[in-house]
Amino acid sequence: MSSPISTAPVSTRLTRLGALCGALCGLLIALPSLVEAFTGETAATSFLLALSPAFSLPFLSALHQRQSQATGRFGETAYVVNLIGLGLFGGAAFTSNLVLFYLDEDVIDAELTGLTIPTLLGSAVVFAVGCALFGAATIRARRFPKVPSWAYAVAVPLFAFLIALPDSVFTSALHIVVGATLIWLSAALWQSSPTTDRAGVPRSDAHAA
């Protein structure tokens, strides 16, 4: 027996897969951060946080696909900048959580020389600008709820600079807010995907026929 996703049109399947990736990304950010608020950073929580950016890429693409007609060229520009920023920041987050986590502070200070620090900061800036632009496009499009749309434009850019800050209740709380934002947007994205009839034809197309 085939699943609802397998019988849906390609665009619908990609939207739903993107929503699932977004929800997983949000969980991989929020749950480890909730644990770290009580235990501090651990190898397990760092591992989960390092994986989260990978799932944000299909999620961002699905969001853009859903609202692209309403955002126009501004939305396209915002999407490209956000996508590039995610790629750069994802690499920085992966390195921070799975490499730097296991090194002593003295080793980190000695090894992070040359262009390393400016490049990491530049990645954070591109990510922050991309999220702010894409969040603004999402707010303008009005395809998703206002609260997570504004949170994506405001809270997620702040998330970019947490790597340089020591762990605290504030950083854990912001991680949780970002994770909840992604989960909320993912739920809205899933609900916005076109429904299909038993033949796998979008209902809107079926009525038009």
Over residues 18-34, the pLDDT tens digits come to: 999 999 999 999 999 99
pLDDT bin (cut points 50, 70, 90) of residue 2 is low
pLDDT bin (cut points 50, 70, 90) of residue 200 is very low
The overall average pLDDT reported for the chain is: 84
pLDDT at residue 66 tops 70 = yes
* 193 contacts: CB under 8 Å, gap ≥ 6: 8, 12, 15, 16, 19, 66
- Output the pTM of the full model: 0.82
% pLDDT > 90, the chain = 54
In terms of Cβ atoms closer than 10 Å to its own Cβ (0-12, 13-18, 19+), residue 1 is exposed
pLDDT at position 189: 95
**Structure confidence by residue, pLDDT tens digits, 70-128:** 999 999 999 999 999 999 988 888 888 888 777 777 777 777 777 778 888 888 999 99
